[in-house]
């Protein structure tokens, strides 16, 4: 542990510690996760990882190779891929977040990353991937699914709206320095 870095950026350190604790709690929530029969949607396995890394790199400016490989182990049950003719054409990674409210303990899911192979976009794969995975979230008593999307990412915003997500707030500097994004939410119960 680099103590000098902790002293120079204590807020950053607390935030990353908080994230690590929540992620660990999230993996506990995955114990006993129930899977349903899904049309052309499966959970990730190591053989399809190179294809997923390619689709991620094509879909986003920032490559997240290390994080995606880590998630394929840690959040395997909620790291979904969609296939067409047995070929992976997209993926969607969720993280689970335990929350406490007046109603008690609740499970929320956040869409950490989603992308469809450029050659297969606008053909309904993104929508099917979300619908199938969200069906499974509901079966597992996830109360809300939320995500953050750049205000300029029209294809993604349209996809989320068509799937039933609503904009709940606008935030700055979360999707990048001086960038604005929407927090969007879908209530399942």
Choose, by CB under 6 A, the member of 115, 137, 145, 188 that binds ligand COA.
115
When asked if residue 134 is in the footprint of ligand COA (CB under 6 A), the reply is: no
Which residues, 139 to 158, sit near ligand COA by CB under 6 A? 149, 153-156, 158
DSSP string, the chain: --HHHHHH-HHHHHHHHHHHHHHHHHHHHTTT------SSEEE--GGGHHHHHHHHHHH-SS--HHHHHHHHHHTGGGEEEEEETTEEEEEEEEEEEEEEETTEEEEEEEEEEEEE-GGGTTSSHHHHHHHHHHHHHHHTTEEEEEEEEETT-HHHHHHHHHHT-EEEEEEESSSSTT-EEEEEEEE--
Q: Per CB under 6 A, does 68 bind ligand COA?
A: no
Q: How far is the CB of 14 from ligand COA (least distance, A)?
A: 26
Cβ contacts of residue 100 below 8 Å, gap of 6+? 106
State which of residues 80, 125, 165, 182 lies at the interface with ligand COA (CB under 6 A). 125
Kindly state whether residue 176 participates in binding ligand COA, applying the rule CB under 6 A: no
Stretch that binds ligand COA, among 10-18, 26-34, 98-106, 119-127 (CB under 6 A): 119-127
Q: Which of 159, 184, 186, 188 binds ligand COA (CB under 6 A)?
A: 159
Shortest Å distance, C-beta 159 to ligand COA: 4
What is the nearest approach in angstroms of ligand COA to the Cβ of residue 92?
A: 8
Regarding 93 and contact with ligand COA (CB under 6 A), the answer is: no
- Return the residue nearest ligand COA (CB atom): 126
Q: Which residues bind ligand COA (CB under 6 A)?
A: 59-60, 114-116, 121-127, 149, 153-156, 158-159, 162
């Amino acid at each position: 542990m680099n103590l000098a870095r902790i002293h120079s950026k204590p807020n950053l350190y607390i935030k990353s510690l908080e994230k690590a604790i929540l992620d660990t709690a999230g993996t506990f929530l995955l114990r006993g996760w129930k899977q349903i029969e899904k049309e052309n949607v499966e959970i990730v396995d190591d053989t399809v990882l190179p294809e997923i890394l390619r689709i991620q790199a094509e879909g986003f400016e920032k490559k997240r190779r290390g994080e995606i490989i880590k998630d394929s182990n840690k959040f395997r049950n909620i790291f979904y891929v969609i296939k067409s003719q047995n070929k992976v054409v997209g993926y969607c990674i969720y993280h689970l977040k335990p929350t406490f409210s007046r109603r008690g303990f609740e499970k929320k899911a956040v869409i950490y990353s989603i992308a469809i192979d450029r050659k297969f976009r606008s053909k309904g794969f993104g929508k099917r991937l979300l619908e199938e995975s969200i069906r499974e979230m509901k079966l597992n008593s996830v109360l809300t699914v939320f995500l953050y999307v750049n205000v300029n990412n029209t294809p993604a915003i349209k996809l989320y709206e068509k799937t039933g997500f609503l904009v709940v707030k606008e935030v700055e500097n979360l999707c990048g320095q001086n960038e604005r994004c929407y927090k969007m939410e879908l209530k399942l119960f």
